[in-house]
Structure formats: C-alpha cells, structure tokens
Amino acid sequence: MNAPLKTSHARKHGHLLSLPLLTLLAIAGCSSASRGPATPDASVDAIAPDAAASGTCSKDAECLALLPATTPANCATASCTDGTCAFQAKDEDGDGYPAAVCDSKDKSITIQVGTDCNDHDAKLYPGHPEACSVSADGTKPSGTLCATGAVSCLDDGSESSCIGTVACSASETCAAGACTTVCTDGAMGCFAGQQPAVCKSGAWQNIGAPCVDQACSNGNCVGSCTPNAQSCVDAATPETCDTTGTWHPDNACVAQACVNGACVGACLPGATQCSATTANAVETCDATGTWQPAAPCGTSLPVCLTGACVACTPGVDACADAVTPETCDATGAWQVETACVGQACTAGTCTGSCVPGALACADAVTPMTCTAAGTEQAAAPCVDQACSAGACVGVCTPGATACVGAGPLGQEPQTCTAQGQWQSAGLACAGEYCAAGACTLVGVLVPNTYARALAVDAANVYWSGGTYVTKVPHGGGTPTTLSASTNSSGPIAVDATNVYFSDLDGPIYKVPIAGGPVTMLATGGGDPGGLAPNGADLYWGTAEGVVARVPIGGGPAVTLVSGQGAIVGLTGDATHLYWTSHDGGTVVKMALAGGALTTLASGQNLPDEIAVDAVNAYWANDGDGTLMKVNLGGGVATTVATAQDAYGLSIVQGAPVWTDPAASTVVGNGGSMYTYASGQDSPTTIVGASDGAVYWWDSGNNNLMVYLN
C-alpha cells in the first residue's frame, strides 16, 4: 500500500468535491464498516485550564478583551478558569475537535490547540471515516485499501492519506463493506455533493442541474448558500454556510476587516489614526483592513488629534493677535482669553514693557522698535544721520567731525549736533591741517599715490614708483609728473638741477626738476642701494657690493670699490660717501675721489638704511631692531633706539627720524623719543626737509603724508 501523505487544505477539498455525494456516502459506510464510527474523545482535545495564563479574571469577557492577534486570524477564544485567563483554539465546525493550528503573534502568550486538521469541515476530524478518491486511471481499485491521494485527519491533527477503506465508483454504492451498483428505485441522493440524483432501475441518474448557491439534500437544492462557503455579514463580521445551505455568523473580527469571510488586514474599515511616521497626518483604514497613506492636515486644521485634524494641540498657549492670548482646549479648538493691557502677547502670555511696533532711539544714532514680545530691539544704526523718535534724520552722525574749506591747509573744523546737523567751530586752522574736526600738524599731502622712494629740496617733494617720477610743492597742490614711461622702482635723489632715479634692474636716469627729457646716465647700475649726487658726479652702491660714479653731464661709469657685500643704503656729504654692508655687518666711509676705506662700525646685525648729518652717521640694524649712530670721524657706535622696525630713515634738523610699519608710527630721537604720527597704515619710505617738515608714504592707504614743523 502507499505510504500516507500530508496534503494541503486546498488539495483535500479538491478531492472531496470531485466525488458524487452517493459515492462519498458509500465510502463513508465502507469506512465505518472497516474502522467503526468515530466518537470525539474529550481526553484528546480537552484544553488545559492553566494554558496561556495571562492574568487574574472573574469572567470570560475580561479574558476575551486580552486575546492576542493570531495566525490564522481570529482562530482563538478565551475563558476564565479558576480566576485565570486561558486561551484556546476555536472549534469552528462544531465537530467537538478544536483546530490543530492556531498561533499567537505575541510569543509570550500560548494558545492551546486541538487535533482537528480541518476546522471548517465537520466531517473531517481524527478517527472519522473519510472519503477516498478513485484511482489515477479512473478504474475501481481492487482489494479493501483506499486509493492513493485520499485524505484523512489523523489523531495528531495532521492530514494524511486515508487507510483501510474501499473507493467505490460514481455509479456504485457501499454495502456490507463492498461496492455495488444496486440502489433502491425512487431513492433520492446527491452526486458530488451538489448534483441531485434519483435511483432508477437500480442505478443512479442525475436530475436537473447542480445546485448553485444552495446545498443538495436528498436530491433537492435547499438553503441559500453553498456548504462551507464563506462571506461577510458586514465590514467586520465573517459568516460560514452550513450543510443545509444556511449562513451562520462567526465571531466578529477584532481590529481587522472581513474580506471574503476571513479577518484580514490590521484595522477596522473606516477607522482613522494619526500617522506614526508623518507628523500631523491622518491615516484611514480601507475596506481591506489596510491603512492608507497618510493625508497631511491642512493649514486651517494643522494638528492631528485622535485620528482627526484639529486647530491646535490641547494645552498649547498662543496669541490670537499681538495682544490677545488664547489656549487650546481638549478638543483641539482655540479659546480666546482676556487681551493684554500695555503689553504684548508672547506664546499666550502677556509680556514685555512696550506696545509692539512702537518706535524709540537707543542712543543718538540707533533706532529701536518694540518687538512682538514687547521688548525694544535695536535696528541698524543710522548712517550719516541722527536718530529721532525711532527714525533717522539729519545729514550727519551726532558727534562726528569734518573739515570744510579749500585745502589742504587752513580748513575749518565742524562737529555734528544731536539733530544730525553740522555746526562750525568758528575758527579755521591757520597754517595747519584739519583732521577729524581738529587742527593738526599731520595731514595727507597727496592721496592715492605710489611712492617707492622719496627726495626733497627747498621747494618740492619728489617720489618715484612704477613708471612715474612726480613732484608736489611742500604745501601741497596738484602733483607734476616729470617722467611717465620709465621704470622707476629704485632709489631717488635730487640736486639743484636734476632728479635722479633708477630701476631695480640697474639703469640710472636723470630728468630736470623743471621737467624735460629723461636721460640715461648708466646702463648697469646693478640694483642700486642708494643714489648720492655731488657736484659733477652721481654716486651709487649696488647689491653686488660695488660703489661707482658717473658724470652727471654724461660719460662712462667708473667703479670706485668692489667686494663690499650687499650695499643696501648709501648716502654722502660734501667730502665723503657712507654705506652699509648688509651681509658684511659694517658701516664704511670713503672719500668722493675714492681711495682708502674707513670702517666706522663693524659687527652690526644686518645694517640697512643709512643717513648722515654734520656730526654722525645713523643706520638701522634689520637683524635686531636697533637704531645706531657713530661719529663721522670714528669712535664707538651707540644705540639710539631699540625694538624698532625701521623701514625708512632720514635726518630732520640734526636728529634721526624713521618709519615703523609694525607699530604704525613715525618716530624720531633728538635726545629723547618723539612720535610724529601714530595710527598710520604701514608707513615705509621717509624724507626730512630743512624746514623741519617730515614726509612719508603710508603704503596701506597709498597716501603721501606730511608732518608740519
């Protein structure tokens, strides 16, 4: 015989529905004859009272409320036994055997199951005689064993091939344990469960069409549904058709939808809830028990509360307008409260000390506005105006200063009043500059210019830079360009007739101080470190350590001495030349005609700029920030100043004066330190005039500055 096989629910019903009712009845009779009728055994399917205990109780309803979600859905029930909740599988088909499969989705709760492998068929349970199909080739099987593929419900609750029964054909019936074609004339029956039949001449014959949406009973179609069919009474209540064609409601679905007689989905159709993933959005359960995508609440009702869009979150305070508090009630509706008096409404509370929108002034130039919170908030300060009643008025900033009148000397200081109007001091600066509303000795001689090097004579200040050589009178005025197309980024010097300048690459030029053609004096100046005109000749030193001269009237250049190291600064007086050897650390003098060298100082730390007066030579040590001097006749070098970043160096009325870009100052020392100007922006090259005036270039703002003696 064939081994028993476990068969699916669908396959089982497929076999049962494929056989005529009379055949099934016959097989059932044979099965009963061979095995005997089965009687439900209470000892097999009884539910243990301590199964799945989940709390104390006093009645079944309390336990039913604790039923967990199950697989399949809605397959369990609950009871209160001895004060404790127990959960059991249902007996849906009423055959006395609870379902063999019913699992709790909550793994902490156990559901006691039975042994019925098909709880939707009252004729299928352990020990019940089951129908067997015909053999695979359609012929009647021999012997007393059932055909392969028939199903039965075993005692352990599983399905298997039936064992020990005879399968009769559609035209046979079962009698005394054997198949026979004999039937009683006039007997009424049903083939295949739904086909009415009548016995004629000892054989069954079909009568009429198979029953549709009805049950077949004794050869007649009865009731209003097909046995075992499932449907829904309403959106949440399943119903099942019994063997008489009558619908019977099942237990209502719990938080699920009824679809085709089964509890499905995760919600009750029509139910709503607030989305757990999308803020302030409502999900709606459709007819299949499925939550639909969340629909956001609108602007008029922006908050989701218990599955509905409402105006606000309960307990939240807000403001209906700038001065009126409101509170959200338990239904999500705003309730207006008493308006604030002399205050603002902020987050539903009266706060602050001013009326929202009121204007005032924090100070002379800063308007203020009362915010929505009732606090005064400063706005951007007025620009070139005064603040009055919270508004910018006038034409100037209170306390600001200015200078009016033709300049640069003799301008008149002015001060701005609290009303934003200019008020004159009533006194012009006589022979002085006007700056920041006050008379001063420091002023801008020429704005927006580039001065790489400076020179001065009794009437003018001269400067070179880029391709220009320019002059301007001591008192200021319109600059005059002497050269506009010759590179002039090197040093510059002047005598009574010409201005001398050079490029960093070495060519040396002259141009008349009154203007005229530019003449090249030497082609190979070798990066001049300084120019010194004296009588008929022009002298210079180079970065290659050469001191040379060339006739001012024209002629070949002559090297006076070489091997001096990098000459950074060179100057002269009526009889001698003086220079610094940057890498040699020496200060040297030599007669204009050449000859022996005299070392005035040695062991200096990168000596740089140099200047002389009638008594001393002065230089700046770039390596240690000292400013030094030594007598022109020789002697011990002494320190004039320390901690200086001396960029430019000159002599003013017998005292050294220099620029300090790091300190943004112009300083001098005629026995004690004196500050000519402070607050400069990277002052560099400098020159002093015989009348005590000092000129320098403020490179940070490209201004040619002056200090008037």
Q: Which pLDDT value is given to residue 18?
A: 31
Do 614 and 630 meet the contact criterion of CB atoms below 8 Å apart?
Answer: no
CA pair distance 112, 103, nearest whole angstrom: 9
- Number of neighbours of residue 420 by Cβ within 10 angstroms: 22
Note the pTM of the prediction, 2 decimals.
0.49
CA pair distance 157, 135, nearest whole angstrom: 26
Average pLDDT of each block of 10 consecutive residues along the chain (709 residues)?
A: 30 31 31 31 34 66 88 90 91 86 88 83 62 34 38 52 45 47 76 78 82 87 88 91 88 89 89 94 92 94 95 94 93 93 89 89 93 89 93 93 81 91 86 84 93 96 94 93 90 96 88 96 83 95 93 95 94 97 96 96 96 97 96 96 95 95 95 93 95 95 93
Q: Which pLDDT value is given to residue 21?
A: 31
What residues does each domain of the chain span? 9-186, 230-264, 401-440, 448-563
Question: Nearest CA to 45 among 87, 103, 97?
Answer: 97
In eight-state DSSP terms, residue 458 is S
Residue with tokens 């008594």: 615
Q: Which pLDDT value is given to residue 278?
A: 93
Q: Which pLDDT value is given to residue 39?
A: 31
CA pair distance 406, 541, nearest whole angstrom: 43
DSSP 414-439: EEE-TTS-EEE-S---SSSEEETTEE
Q: Which pLDDT value is given to residue 674?
A: 93
Residue with tokens 């793994």: 107
CA pair distance 463, 483, nearest whole angstrom: 11
| CA angle (561 as vertex; 559, 567 as ends), nearest 5 | 100
Task: Give the CATH superfamily of 448-563.
Answer: TolB, C-terminal domain (2.120.10.30)
CA pair distance 553, 535, nearest whole angstrom: 11
Q: Where are the beta strands (DSSP E) in 106-229?
A: 152-153, 159-160, 173-175, 178-180, 188-191, 195-200, 203-206, 215-217, 220-222
Q: Burial letters for 483-506: b for 16+ Cβ neighbours within 10 Å, e otherwise?
A: beebbbbbbbbbbeebbbbbbeeb
Question: Nearest CA to 528 among 567, 498, 555, 563?
Answer: 567
Residues 6+ apart with CB under 8 A from 85: 52, 53, 54, 55, 56, 57, 62, 63, 66, 78, 79
Question: Nearest CA to 413 among 387, 435, 384, 445?
Answer: 435
The values of phi and psi at residue 167, to 5°, are -100, 115
Categorise residue 144: left if φ over 0, alpha if ψ from -120 to 50, beta otherwise: alpha
Do 605 and 598 meet the contact criterion of CB atoms below 8 Å apart?
Answer: no
- Identity of the amino acid at 351: T
- Identity of the amino acid at 145: L
Q: Is 678 helix (H, G, I), strand (E, B) or coil?
A: coil
Residues 6+ apart with CB under 8 A from 405: 411, 412, 428, 434
The values of phi and psi at residue 414, to 5°, are -135, 155
Question: Nearest CA to 490 among 591, 555, 569?
Answer: 569
Do 298 and 310 meet the contact criterion of CB atoms below 8 Å apart?
Answer: no
Q: Is 198 helix (H, G, I), strand (E, B) or coil?
A: strand
Is the Cα dihedral 516, 517, 520, 525 positive or negative?
positive
| CA angle (276 as vertex; 274, 281 as ends), nearest 5 | 40
- Identity of the amino acid at 111: I
Q: Burial letters for 42-55: b for 16+ Cβ neighbours within 10 Å, e otherwise?
A: eebbebeeebbbbe
CA pair distance 328, 280, nearest whole angstrom: 16
How many C-alpha atoms does 407 have within 13 Å on its Cβ side?
18
Do 167 and 146 meet the contact criterion of CB atoms below 8 Å apart?
Answer: yes
Question: Nearest CA to 1 among 130, 165, 172, 159?
Answer: 165
Q: What is the dihedral of CA 455, 461, 462, 468, to 10 degrees?
A: 150
